[in-house]
Amino acid sequence: MHSFIDNTLLSRLGALPIESRVPMLGNVAGKHRSPHRGSSVEFAEYRKYVPGDDTRRLDWKAFARSDRFYIKEFEADTNLRAYFVVDASGSMKFAGKGEAKIQYARRIAASLAYLLVNQGDAAGLSICTDKLHLEVPPSRRAAHLERFFSTLGKLEPAGETGLLGALHTIAEKIGQRAFVVILSDLFTDPAALGDALQHLRYRKHDISLFHLMDPQEIGFEFERPHRFVDLEDGTALVVEPNLIADEYKTALRDFLTAVRAKCHDASADYQLVTTDTPLEPLLREFLTARLPKSKR
Amino acid sequence: MLFLSPLFLWFLAAAAVPIAIHLINRRRHKTIQWAAMQFLLKAARQSRGKKKLRHILILTCRALGVAALALAAARPIVSGLIGWGGGSIDTVVLLLDRSASMEIKPGDGLESRRQIVIKKVRDAMADLGATRLVLIDSASNKPQEVPSPEILPDLAAAAGTDTAADFPALLTRAAEFLTETSGRSEVWLASDLQASNWHPDDERWAATRAGLASLPQKPAFRVLSLTGATAPDSSVRLLATRRSGDELLIDLEVLRSGEARGTTSIPLTTHLNGTRTTETLTVPGQSLRFQKRVALPSASDTGHGWLTIPADGNARNNAAFFAYGPAHPVKTLVVSAPGESADYLALAAAPPGFGNLSTQRVEAGQAATAITADLAAILWAAPLPTGATAETVQRFLTSGGQVLFLAPGSASDTPFIDLKWSDPTEPPAGKFFILKDWNHSDGPLRDGIEGTPVAANRLKAIRRQIPLGDASPLGRWEDGEPAITRRIIDHGTAWFLGSIPDYTWSNLGDADVLLPAVQRIIAAGTERFDASYLAIAGSAAAGILPGETRSRLDDQGTPDPANAEYEAGVFRLGERLLAVNRPPQEDTPEILSREALDTVLDGTNYTLLDQAGQANDPALSRDVWRAFLVAVLFFFISEGLLCLPKSPSSKS
């Protein structure tokens, strides 16, 4: 059993479906809307009969009322393919006052993947650093989850981030619409991040972004001089935190504002999450917010 | 600045503690693996300017606060008088100018400059704590230990006098004293910088400076300059007195302070043998010279008196004292061959109608026997004396006699007192030798006491002889050759006039020049007979001889018996009667210039504390530890304010 899987949490969240915000293009029937007309029970629209249409789909009652042939169309339901893009750069190793960001990312990814597979959708994993881009293709099978969890468990953050490259790769590689869940601290250029998100958006993917931050990274509260060593490239800097706290917070605030704006521009679902946040309310809120208003 | 508890200065090192803590803290940093490095780098870049300055200010405030606390604990005394020093002063040598001019009051006070500076010194010494104070006053010129600065204003040795000060002698005495003194010393010179007291051109300064430079431990020199505005002041000064029969001729000068303008009236009161008369003098401008004739009681052999003007800025210069002895016949010896010249000289020496003037005419050969000690002057119109006669004349000169040598008509064979006559010369035909330049303030041709000049420019000569040798010319002919010269021999004076009152020589006999010149020479010769009745305060002549006692006869002012020998007044010294006056130079307002002070005190690195004698000036020194405590508060409050976090509104 993996440490990042909380059965109690999963059982509590099991009743909540994971909905896609955009119609999905799946291979098999499922619970999610499709852009194509199908055979679900949900009425979509009438259209005029054209020769070649299946006569079984003619609406005879409409013909009786109007003396014209109409085809009654229904929504098509399909399954959802989710890609969890986990940033495995060295910065994700940071564990200040909360747990390590990578561990928090594992818990989110594992929980959501479990819920997806459990409702018949496919979940895939993409792990990225500047030197590594590891992928677990999406699959609906329950046995696939073990591979998913195992890959997550073996994940060892190191090096600089390769998130942007991974996002572009995913955007290019996935042919059909998918649910892309990004788990990262996003320590990269917001403009480049915006470009990558736009790329995904262009491919009509449903994007959710969990921006993981440690409370210490946000609060920046230190009493004495510290030697800060970069987790990604090893750069060291000795500073007196009291002296630069204001500038640090200002820079962080500007960064978060820029990231939030880029996500908004790309219609991505942005969640700034500190690693001391309890997971259950976070995921419950996340899942509830994705439900259609009629189901909330 | 001086510190009374210099040991606390070691705590100044504590000022480095905040900086050391800061540096140690920087070295004792904690290493942390950090992810959000991009913000850290950006923040570090942005905080290099203002934040770093703020941090430096905080550190500076902490260091200065600690330093100010240490300085306050060291009890600093700040003053222009006391210089910078890390330790206490062991000895202060106070050279106090007690001259009469020091008794003038500054424009803003009721006490004299001397009293003000003494109190300031007393307060400064109290601040210094256990520093030894040694007083060398200008009157006695003797070092005197002052057991407590509190008694300084009451010390007789610091009281006012009518003497002059002699600063080369004072500093020499200080150097002698310091040679025998160990420890850190300071020399404080309290003076009004009156030039006549400092003698800037005196050759003794070189020796004084050498003495100070050779001291094993160099003292610091502080000059307490007591200059500046003064209260209005007038002075009366006795220039000369001479008894003429039943009259006393008193030459007086009334001076007003430099700021005085216009004409003023000053009442002059004469006290004579118990009687008092007052007259009003009209003083045009700043000075008035005049001769006062005082009728003496009949059959009065000796007597005394004094003249006073009302009290003003300086109470020490409002009286002039005189005493006189029995009438003395004024005898003059004319040494000349019979003739016109001898007649004119005898007439000039004893004009008709002046019963106390007499003259005796002899030829050069009988001069040696005719010269006696009771002669006032000798008019010598003959070849210069030689041999025994020369020795007799020289003795006469040495004892204070006056001799006027006139042109003998032939060149000298042998010099007398290294002086001799040239050959007689005559001007070009139709021309005269005319006296052109002469000294109007000195010598027998000087202007009258009221300023009336002698008509010496009327003197024309058709023959002349030039006095040759080392003598001071007091008058010159048009061509620049000396007409009249002077050579001082001890107490007497030899005068040389290059013509004679003979129509074949010049118009000297017309009395425009001859009469005043001869009478002035005779008057100078008679002064030595009255000199025993006059003395200058502080001089040897004013001192008592063995076996004598001093009693004061006048009731002018408030005499101080302890300083009687340094005060002006009329005294009876044993059997002698003596009028003592302040030195005439005390009435001269000339102040030593800064350049001259630099010159005389060259090599001492002295500090000049200007205006120390002004009443409303602050004290010479101040205990300023409270100021440092305020500084401590200021620095720590500033540090606290700088450390305060920004307000939430400014953050947003």
- pLDDT tens for A103-124 read 999 999 999 999 888 888 888 9
Chain A residues with CB under 8 Å of a chain B CB are 90-94, 101, 185, 187, 213-214, 217, 224-232, 235, 237-240, 243-248, 250-252, 255
- Alpha carbons B15 and B66: distance in angstroms, whole number: 5
Residues in chain B closer than 8 A to A91 (CB atoms): 35-37
Decide: helix, strand or coil at residue B113.
helix
Q: List Cα–Cα distances, B291 to B251, B294, B297, B450, B583, in angstroms.
A: 4, 10, 19, 8, 19
Does residue B358 fall inside a structural domain? Answer: yes
Q: Are A84 and A178 in contact (CB under 8 A)?
A: no
Q: Which residues of A touch B31 (CB under 8 A)?
A: 226-227, 229
Q: Which of B33, B44, B651 sits opposite A244 (nearest CB)?
A: B44
What's this model's pTM, rounded to 2 decimal places? 0.57
Record the tokens describing residue B199, joined without a space: 């003698």
Mean pLDDT of B303-326: 88
The dihedral region occupied by A175, where left means phi > 0, alpha psi between -120 and 50, and beta the remainder, is: alpha
Cα of A255 to nearest chain B Cα, Å: 9
For residue B118, the 8-state DSSP code is H
Residue B217 sits in the same domain as residue B243: no
The verdict on a CB contact (< 8 Å) between B43 and A228 is: no
pLDDT of residue A275: 92
Whether pLDDT at A26 is above 70:
no
Q: What integer pLDDT is reported at residue B436 of this predicted model?
A: 86
Predicted local distance difference test score (pLDDT) of residue B404 = 92
Which residue in the set B35, B43, B46 is minimally distant from A217, CB to CB?
B35
A229 chain-B contacts, CB cut-off 8 A: 31-34
**Structural domain of residue B636, as residue ranges?**
2-78+627-651
Q: Are residues B335 and B432 in the same domain?
A: yes
Please give the pLDDT value at position B651.
41
Q: Are residues B566 and B632 in the same domain?
A: no
Confidence of residue B330 (pLDDT cuts 50, 70, 90): confident
Is the pLDDT at A36 greater than 50, yes or no?
A: yes
CA distance A170 to chain B (A): 25
pLDDT of the residue at B98: 92
Residue B596 is predicted with a pLDDT of 92
Quick one: B287 and B431 in the same domain? no
Do the chains contact at A226 and B651, CB–CB below 8 Å?
A: no
Tokens 């048009």 -> residue: B478
Residues B238 and B223 in one domain: no
> Distance, in angstroms, between B45 CA and closest chain A CA?
9
Q: How far is A252 from chain B (nearest CA, A)?
A: 6
Instruction: Name which of A93, A185, A239 is nearest B40 (Cβ-Cβ).
Output: A239
pLDDT at A125: 92
Q: What is the mean pLDDT of residues A212-220?
A: 91
The size of chain B, in residues, is 652
Flag whether B86 is in a domain: no
Q: Which residues of A touch B25 (CB under 8 A)?
A: 224-225, 240
In a domain, B365, yes or no: yes
**Which residue of chain A comes nearest to B23, CA vs CA?**
A225
pLDDT above 90 for A194: yes
Q: Is A132 exposed, middle or buried (0-12, 13-18, 19+ CB in 10 A)?
A: middle
Q: Is B83 inside any structural domain?
A: no
In percent, the amount of chain A with pLDDT more than 90 equals 29
Nearest-angstrom CA–CA distance, A174 and A24 = 12
Per DSSP, B93 falls in state: E
Q: Which among B21, B39, B54, B56 is the top mutation candidate for probing chain A, defined by the most A β-carbons within 10 Å of its own β-carbon?
A: B39
**In chain A, what are the domain boundaries?**
7-21+79-290, 32-78
Cβ burial of B557 (10 Å; 0-12, 13-18, 19+) is middle
Question: Which has more confidence, A293 or B135?
Answer: B135
Nearest CA in chain B to A256: B39
pLDDT of residue B569: 92
Beta bridge partners of B255: B235, B287
Amino acid B285: pLDDT? 82
Q: Which chain B residue has its CA at the smallest distance from A187's CA?
A: B36
* CATH of A7-21+79-290 given 3.30.420.40, 3.40.630.30, 3.40.50.150, 3.40.50.410: 3.40.50.410
Residue A53 reports pLDDT greater than 90: no
Specify the number of domains making up chain B: 4
What is the Cα–Cα distance from B63 to B67, expressed in whole angstroms?
A: 6
CB B12 within 8 A of CB B86: no
Q: What is the pLDDT of residues A258-274, one digit of tens each?
A: 999 999 999 899 999 99
Q: Say yes or no: B249 and B304 in one domain.
A: yes
**Reported ipTM exceeds the 0.85 cut:** no
Does residue B417 contact residue B489 with C-beta atoms inside 8 Å?
yes
CA-to-CA dists, residue A92 to A82, A161, A232, B354, angstroms? 22, 9, 9, 132
Please state, rounded to an integer, the average pLDDT across all residues of chain B: 85
Same domain for B415 and B280: no
Higher pLDDT, B194 or A42: B194
Q: Which of B21, B24, B33, B639 has the highest number of chain A CBs within 10 A, making it the mutation to test binding with A?
A: B33
**Per-residue pLDDT tens over the stretch B504-514:** 898 888 868 88
Q: What pLDDT band is residue B650 in, cutting at 50, 70 and 90?
A: very low
The verdict on a CB contact (< 8 Å) between B47 and A217 is no
More confident residue, B244 or B435: B435
Cross-strand pairs, A94: none
**Residue tagged 């996003």 (tokens):** A186
Please name the member of B25, B38, B47 whose beta carbon is closest to the beta carbon of A243: B47
For residue B622, the model assigns a pLDDT of 59
* B25:A214 CB<8 A: no
Is the confidence at residue B502, as pLDDT, over 60?
yes
Q: Is residue B603 part of a domain?
A: yes
Q: What pLDDT sits at residue A259? A: 94
By Cβ distance, the residue of A185, A224, A248 closest to B29 is A224
| pLDDT number for residue B377 | 92
Inter-chain touch A247–B34, beta carbons under 8 Å: no
Contact between A251 and B30 using a beta-carbon 8 Å cutoff = no
| Average pLDDT over every residue of A51-55 | 84
Please state, in angstroms and rounded to a whole number, the distance separating the CA atoms of residues B112 and B104.
5
Structure tokens at A219: 């609060």
Written as one letter, the residue type at B238 is L
List the single residue in B34, B43, B646 with the smallest CB-CB distance to A229: B34
**Residues of chain B with C-beta less than 8 angstroms from the C-beta of A217:** 35-36
Nearest chain B residue to A92 by CA distance is B35
Model confidence over B93-122: pLDDT tens digits?
Answer: 999 999 999 998 887 668 888 988 898 888
pLDDT on residue A212? 93
pLDDT tens per residue, range B45-92: 877 777 778 888 999 999 999 999 988 888 777 655 555 444 567 889
Q: Using CB atoms, which residue from B34, B55, B651 is nearest to A94?
A: B34
pLDDT tens figures, B195-221? 999 999 989 999 999 999 998 888 888
Amino acid at B85: G
Q: What is the pLDDT of residue B642?
A: 84
Indicate yes or no: CB of A231 within 8 angstroms of CB of B651.
no
Q: Is residue B85 part of a domain?
A: no
Is B203 in the same domain as B252? no
Could you tell me if B48 and B28 lie in one domain? yes
DSSP H helical ranges for chain A: 7-13, 60-66, 101-118, 142-154, 163-173, 190-202, 215-219, 241-265, 279-290
Q: Are B24 and B121 contained in the same domain?
A: no
First to last CA, chain B: 50
> Do A244 and B34 count as a contact with CB atoms less than 8 A apart?
no
Q: How confident is the model at residue B167 (pLDDT cuts 50, 70, 90)?
A: very high
Whole-number pLDDT of residue B587: 84
* B353 shares its domain with B256: no
Chain B residue at shortest CA distance from A215: B36
CB pair distance less than 8 Å for A94 and B33? yes
pLDDT for residue A178 is more than 80: yes
Q: Are residues B470 and B398 in the same domain?
A: yes
Q: Beta partners for A76?
A: none
A–B interface: beta-carbon pairs under 8 A: 104
In a domain, B84, yes or no: no
Return the residue in A89, A235, A246 with the most chain B beta carbons within 10 A, the one to mutate for interface testing. Answer: A246
**Which range (A269-273, B287-291, B410-414, B532-536) has the least confidence?**
B410-414
Of A207, A61, A86, A66, nearest to A152 (Cα)?
A86
Residue B111 lies in a domain: yes
